[in-house]
Homo-oligomer: A and B are copies of this chain.
Amino acid sequence: MPEVNPARLLTSLADFAAIGATPAGGVNRQALSVEDRAARRLLAERALARGFTVFQDEAANLFLRRDGRDATLPPLLIGSHLDSQPTGGRFDGALGTLSAFEVLEALADAGVETGRAIEVVAFTNEEGSRFSPGCMGSMAFAGAGNLSDWRRARATDGALLADELAATLQALPEARMRPIGHAVSAFVELHIEQGPVLEREDVPIGVVTAVQGTKWLEIAFSGEAAHAGTTPLEFRKDPMGAAAAAIACIQGDIMPADPAARLTVGRIAAEPGSINVIPSRVSFTVDIRHPDAVALAAMERRVHEECEAAGARWDCGTVIELRVDMAPGRFDPQVTAAIEETCRALAIRCRPMVSGAFHDALFVGRVAPAAMIFVPCRNGISHNEAEFVSDAHIIAGAQTLLGVALRLSAA
């Protein structure tokens, strides 16, 4: 069985980490930026040097193709993304893309002819930090979003998406343009877990069977600003009382009752925000996630009920708005079985798990069989310059991806 080249892969990760490197050891390589274009160029040049074919589509998704025996079969797709958060780490996205490229090189080194072509993909703007929404490239690829609407999006730095997309495509004239959303036989994405489970259990490979559904709610209680010292309880319409009661209740109840549930209040504000004034308005966000759509809907109902009850109890108005509503995704059992079998063959411990974060595979999974391979990251830290993956886990992940790619491209 062919093997990945550990030294080459680790060097490659270091080469790409230098593009947009931050002083603290992280990466700032936001979508469609000059740094993002430099990373795409480097990857395309390496592909051309190996004799692979380079394609782009109108969303600037980048494809590197190594042909197989039967050109009439749709290719197997492997990869991830190259863009990063503004103070991102070296592995989120890059690990999956560069490991996939290492798979192509290892197959070429070993002279393995696969049944179908294998294509490496770097999807555009997975992070969504410079341009919203994230997973733009994979959503466009899967027909799950409208690229012409997004073209009018403005970056946090003022740039227009349409302009940055055109400039990015033009910066790589060697790439052939292809229509967006070509058929693929399957998609496998290697990624860091971005959570603490694999590390704590000392398991090198997570077989991702599903991606949690996510809903983002914005909740606002409105009461009446009044003097903290002169206003007796019976005159108070205190939205802070309502907010604290609602948050304490949903945070105290929902997660302890269901290990698969996630509930986070990440943002809160009180107006006018004065020490000695009862607030007129308190607003906060609730991020709820669950792998099961029915359970997720039940969580949302519970948040509504508790907030409305707390608002009524404190004589406040309650407004609840749903800002993001992303259905859970189930990965393909045959692809996850291929990952498990590969781990067994390689004698690498693995465990099934659910992804708490979205990934490009969630969207590609809507148009093709897909699954993901997770590797542990230190302390579960991600979206952070301190993000770290051990060399051993990098190699295990890439070798697993190679094994899965061989299984899924054989025919």
Interface residues of A (CB under 8 A from B): 193-197, 200, 212, 214, 216, 225-233, 235, 238, 240-241, 243-245, 247-249, 251-252, 255-256, 259, 262, 264-270, 273-279, 282, 285, 287, 289, 355-358, 380-384
Contacts and interface: CB of A to CB of B under 8 A. Distances in A.
Contacts of A381: 226
Contact of A269 (B197, B256, B268): B268
B228 A266 contact: yes
Residue of A228, A274, A384 with highest tally of chain B CB at under 10 A: A228
B229 A212 contact: yes
A244 B235 contact: no
**Which 5 pairs show the lowest CB-CB distances between chains A and B?**
A195-B230, A229-B356, A230-B356, A244-B247, A228-B264
29 contacts: A195-B230, A195-B232, A196-B226, A196-B232, A212-B229, A225-B384, A227-B357, A228-B266, A228-B287, A228-B289, A229-B355, A229-B357, A229-B358, A232-B259, A232-B262, A233-B256, A238-B251, A238-B264, A240-B264, A243-B244, A244-B247, A245-B248, A245-B252, A247-B248, A266-B270, A266-B273, A266-B277, A266-B278, A275-B285
A262 B231 CA distance: 8
Please classify the interface of chain A as helix (H, G, I), strand (E, B), loop, or mixed, using the class held by over half of its residues: mixed
A250 to B, nearest CB: 9
A194 B230 contact: yes
A252 B233 CA distance: 11
A385 to B, nearest CB: 13
Contacts of A266: 228, 240, 270, 273-279
Contacts of A194: 227, 230
Given A266-B274, A274-B266, A214 B229 contact: yes
Given A197-B232, A233-B256, A241-B248, 13 more contacts: A194-B230, A196-B226, A227-B382, A227-B383, A229-B357, A229-B358, A230-B355, A230-B357, A230-B380, A230-B382, A241-B247, A241-B252, A244-B251
A196 B234 CA distance: 10
Max count, chain B CB within 10 A of own CB: residue among A214, A240, A273, A279:
A240
Nearest to A260: B232
Contacts of A382: 227, 230
Given A197-B232, A268-B268, A227 B274 contact: no
Nearest to A255: B233
Nearest to A226: B380
Nearest to A382: B227
Given A244-B244, A251-B238, A229 B270 contact: no
Contacts of A226: 196, 380-381
A249 B282 CA distance: 17
A276 B214 CA distance: 10
A357 B276 CA distance: 10
Contacts of A243: 244
B231 A196 contact: yes
B251 A264 contact: no
Contacts of A228: 262, 264, 266, 287, 289, 356
Contact of A380 (B195, B231, B252): B231
